[in-house]
Structure 1
Amino acid sequence: MSEPRLSMGEHKVYVIAEIGVNHNGSLQRAKECIDQAVACGADAVKFQTFKSEKLVTKQAVKAKYQTEHTDATESQLNMLRQLELSFEEFIALKQYCEDKDIDFLSTPFDEESAEFLNRIEVTAFKIGSGDMNNLPFLACINQFEKPVILSTGMANLEEVEASLGMFTKSDVALLHCTSDYPASLEDVNLLAMKTMMDRFGKVTGYSDHTDGIEITIAAVAMGARIIEKHFTLDRTLPGPDHKASLEPQAFKQMVQAIRNVEQALGDGVKRCMPSEENTKLVARKSIVMACRKSAGDVLTQQDIAVKRPGTGIEPKYYFELIGRQLLHDVEEEQLLQWSDLK
C-alpha cells in the first residue's frame, strides 16, 4: 500500500489494533494477531520496535501495572528482552500485513529502530506517550518527513505544544491518552481531547486504556478521528499488556460500534431526512376548517383549527390566514389550501 488509510480511508475513523508486545516474542503469534485484527475490521495493526538495551538501563524498575502481570522480581530489561522481535521479523510482519491488506505501524523506542522502520518504508510513525517530550528523538522522526501519530499521555498542554514544534517536516495527528493500564474512568478526561482539537487544529483521536469499549465509543461521538486500542488473542496470557487489551470478539464489537456511530454522526446539516418524509406528512399538522364556511366569508380564529395530517397549509402560516377571504365554499375539517383563499 503506497498511502496510509489514515489520510484516504473510506471511513472517518481510523482504527488501530495495538498488538504492541502481546505477541510475547513469538512471530507466529504476531501473525495470528494480524489475522484476527483483519477479521475484526481494524484499519491498522501496530507493534513496538525496540532494542531492549537501548531502551532501558539494567537498573530500571517496572511500572506498577507491569509488576502486577509479570514476574515482580524480574527487571524491566529482562522483561523486554523476552518481548523483543528482531528487525528481520518486523520485515516479515510488514510483508504479512501487505498480503492481508491492513496497514502496518510500529512505535520505535530508539533511533536505531526508528531508522529501521523508515528504511522498510512505514507509511507513518506512531510515537508513544513515553517519548512525546523526548525532543531529540522527535527531531530524528521529523527528518523522515512522514506522517506522525503522537500519543500525549502524562502530558500537559504546554508539553504537547513544545512537541508539536519539533515537527517542521511531518504532519502530526494527536492522540489523547491516559497512561495507566487499565485507566480509571475518573482519570480519562475525554474533554481534554476536545481541548487539543480546538487549541492545535490537528486531526485528533484517542488511545484507550480503559476496560471495555464504551469510552472509545464516546470518544468517536466527540469527534475522535483515530482510535487505538490494545489487542490480544487471550487476556489471560502472561505479559504486561494483555489484561488491558481486548480479545477479538470484543474488538470486533468495538469496531462495529465505531462504524455505527460515525455513520450516525452524519454531515451536521440540519434537514428533513428522506426517511422522515412519510412521517412528516402524517405527524405534522395542517390548518383545517373548524366549521363550514361559504365563499366570500372572511376567516377568523374561530373558523380554523390545527390538526393532522401535514398535507395542507402549514401551521406556521396560521396568523397570516386571519382576515383572508374564501374563494370557495369549504366544509368542516376540510384541509385548507392556498387555492381556497383570495
Structure 2
Amino acid sequence: MSNIKIEGRNIGEGHPCFIIAEIGVNHNGDVDIAHKMIDAIADAGADCVKFQTFSASEFVNGDDEIYEYISQGKVVRESQLAMFTRLEINYGDFGKLLEHARQRGLVAFSTPTDPAAADLLEGLGVNAYKIGSDDLVYTPFLKYIGAKAKPVIISTGMADVDDIKRALDAFRSVGNDEIAILHCISLYPTPPEQANLNQIISLKEMFPDNVIGFSDHSEGITADLGATMLGAHIIEKHFTLDKNMQGPDQWFSMDPEELTDLVSNVRRLEASMGSASLTPTSGEVEMRRAARRSIVINRDLAAGYILSESDIRYQRPGDGLMPYEIDRVVGRALAQDLAANTLLSLDHLEGEG
C-alpha cells in the first residue's frame, strides 16, 4: 500500500506531508518541559509529536561505552548509560503526555526500545510505532512490534538495502505491511553534502508499496524542502524549546520559530506543486486577453481589399485572431470596410480559410 492511516490522518500519495516533531530526549528527563514542548509543537502547526520510551539499563550494556557530543557549545564526554539514565522519562508520565498531545490536536506516538516499553505504549492506546535507525536490525523486536498490527514508521540511518529488506520481511512475517520508510542519515548534524536526498527517489522506486519519507538531522529546512519536492510524504525533525539547553541533541534541533517556518514552507511548497497537466490555469486563461497579441489592421481599408502582411501589426489585447493564424488571413479579401486599429476576425473576411 502507498498510504497508511494514523489516528484518522491519511499519509501518503495524494495527502499533505505528515510533519513529525521529534521531542526525543530534548526534555532532559523533565516531564514539565515535555508538556511545554507539546504546546509549542501544536502552536507551530506540526501534525505529530513523537517521544522515545526507554529504560537506559535495558539497551546500554554497562558504563564502559563513552558518548561524545556537543552541548552548550562545549564537547561533552560521558558514558552512554549515565547520559540515557538522566534523560529517561518515568513510564508513569507517558499517559498524561499522550493525552495532552491529543487534546492539542496532535497525533502522538513513540519509539519504544524494548518489549516492556512497547507494551506500555500499547496499553496507553498508541496507534502507531516508530523504530529508530539503531534498531532497524533488531529483527526479534521488529516482529514483536509488527505483531501489534499498527502502522510502523522505520528510519534507515546506517542501513543498506539488505537491512531494509530484512526489516520489511520481519514485519511481513507477522502479517504487518503498514510500514513507512524514512530516508535517514545518522550523523548529528548531517552535513548537506552527506544528506543524500536522492536516496528518497531510490526508496520510492524500490519500495513502491510503502510510504516514503525523510527523518532529518541536518540544520535548517533546506533538506526538508528538497525531500518534499522529491516526494517524501513524512518529514521528521528533532525539536527543542531552546538550542542552548543542555543535552546531546539540543543545538542542531529546530526551535519553535524554525518549526513554524518549516511547516509554513512545506505547506506553501505543496500548494506550489499544483498539477502535472500541461494546461494553463484558470487565471492564465483570463490573462491571455491582457498579455497576448492579436492580428490588428494598421490602416483604413475598404471592402474587397486583398490583405497582405504589410497591412497588419500584432498588438494587445489578445482576444482577436492569434499571430499564429496569419496564414489564414493573408491573401484574402475583406468582406467590409475596416478602420485602422481594428482587431481582425474571420467574420471580416470573404470565403473560408
TM-score of the superposed pair, with normalisation by structure 2 = 0.89
Shift of 1:278: 4.1
Stretch of structure 1 that moved more, 47-56 or 267-276: 267-276
Higher mean C-alpha displacement, 270-279 vs 15-24: 270-279
Aligned CA distance change for structure 1 residues 81 and 215 (closer, same or farther; 3 Å): same
Tell me what 1:61 maps to. 65
Q: Which residue of structure 1 lines up, in the alignment, with residue 39 of structure 2? A: 35
Q: 1:108 and 1:86 mapped to 2: Cα distance?
A: 13
Partner of 2:181: 174
Tell me the CA shift for residue 9 of structure 1: 12
Q: Structure 1 residues 272-281 or 113-122, which shifts more?
A: 272-281
Equivalent position of 2:269 in the other structure: 261
Is structure 2 residue 92 aligned with structure 1 residue 93?
no
Once the two structures are overlaid, the 10-residue window that deviates more, 60-69 or 166-175, is 60-69
Q: Residue 79 of structure 1 corresponds to which residue in structure 2?
A: 83
| 290, 297, 301: which one aligns with 1:289 | 297
- 48-57 or 282-291, which deviates more: 282-291
Counterpart CA distance in 2 for 1:158 and 1:336 is 68
Residue 243 of structure 1 aligns with an amino acid whose one-letter code is W
Distance 1:191 1:2, change over 3 A: closer
Q: 1:124 aligns with which of 105, 125, 128?
A: 128
Over 3 Å counting, the alpha-carbon distance change for 1:158 and 1:300 in structure 2 is: farther
What CA deviation, in whole Å up to 9, does each residue of 1:88-131 have, x standing for no partner?
11111111112222111211112221222222221111111111
Answer whether contact 2:68 2:76 (CA < 8 A) is retained: no
**1:229 & 1:29 partners in 2: Cα distance?**
18
Residue 251 of structure 2 aligns to a residue in which SS? Answer: helix
The alpha-carbon deviation at position 267 of structure 1 amounts to 3.0
Aligned CA distance change for structure 1 residues 83 and 56 (closer, same or farther; 3 Å): same
Cα distance between partner residues in 2 of 1:76 and 1:4: 37
Matched residue type, 2:169: G
In structure 2, relative to structure 1, the CA distance for the partners of 1:159 and 1:16 (3 Å cut) is same
Could you tell me how far apart the structure 2 residues matched to 1:337 and 1:158 are? 67
- CA–CA separation in structure 1 for the residues paired with 2:303 and 2:150: 77
Identify which of 6, 16, 23 aligns with 1:12: 16
In 2 relative to 1, CA 318–136 (structure 1 residues): closer, same or farther, beyond 3 Å? farther
Among 302, 321, 329, the alignment partner of 2:310 is: 302
CA distance in 2, matches of 1:282, 1:218: 35
Give 1:270 deviation, angstroms: 3.0
Instruction: Tell me which amino acid in the other structure corresponds to 1:304.
Output: I
Q: Which moved more, 1:139-148 or 1:4-13?
A: 4-13
Query: Offset of 1:61 from its aligned partner?
Result: 2.2
Whole-angstrom CA distance in 2 between matches of 1:161 and 1:328: 77
2: distance between equivalents of 1:319 and 1:119? 77
- Correspondence for 1:156: 160
Between 167-176 and 267-276, report the one with greater CA deviation. Answer: 267-276
Aligned amino acid, residue 130 of structure 1? D
Deviation at 1:17, TM superposition (A): 0.7
CA contact (8 A) 1:209 1:230 kept: yes
- The residue identity in structure 2 corresponding to 1:194 is I
1:2–1:251 Cα change, 3 Å: closer
Which amino acid in structure 1 is aligned with residue 243 of structure 2? R
From the superposition, tell whether residues 18 and 195 of structure 1 become closer, same or farther in structure 2 (CA, over 3 Å).
same
- Give the aligned residue type for 2:312: I
Q: Structure 1 CA distance, aligned partners of 2:128 and 2:253?
A: 23
The answer to whether the Cα contact below 8 Å between 1:69 and 1:240 also exists between their aligned partners in 2 is: no
Contact 2:295/2:323 (8 A) holds in 1:
yes
Say if 1:125 and 1:148, in contact at 8 Å, map to a contact too: yes
> What secondary structure does 1:145 align onto?
coil
Distance 1:176 1:17, change over 3 A: same
- Offset, 1:301: 3.3
Matched residue type, 2:251? K
Q: CA deviation at 1:272?
A: 2.2
Q: Identify unmatched segments of 5+ residues in structure 2.
A: none
> Is 1:329 the equivalent of 2:330?
no
Pair 1:208-2:225 in alignment: no
Query: What's the TM-score, normalizing by structure 1?
Result: 0.91
Unpaired stretches in structure 1, ≥5 consecutive residues = none
Q: What per-residue deviation string (whole Å, max 9, x for no partner) do you get for residues 41-100 of structure 1? A: 11110010112121111145244436986741x310111111111221111111111222
Separation in 2, partners of 1:305, 1:154 = 66
- Say whether the 8 Å CA contact 2:6–2:128 is kept in structure 1: no
**In 2 relative to 1, CA 114–323 (structure 1 residues): closer, same or farther, beyond 3 Å?**
farther
Secondary structure (helix, strand or coil) at the match of 2:22 reads: strand
Query: What's the % identity of the aligned pairs?
Result: 37
Other structure's SS at 2:170 match: coil
CA contact (8 A) 2:295 2:343 kept: yes
Letter in 2 for 1:113: A
Displacement of 1:4 after TM fit?
4.2
Alpha-carbon distance in 1 for matches of 2:61, 2:263: 38
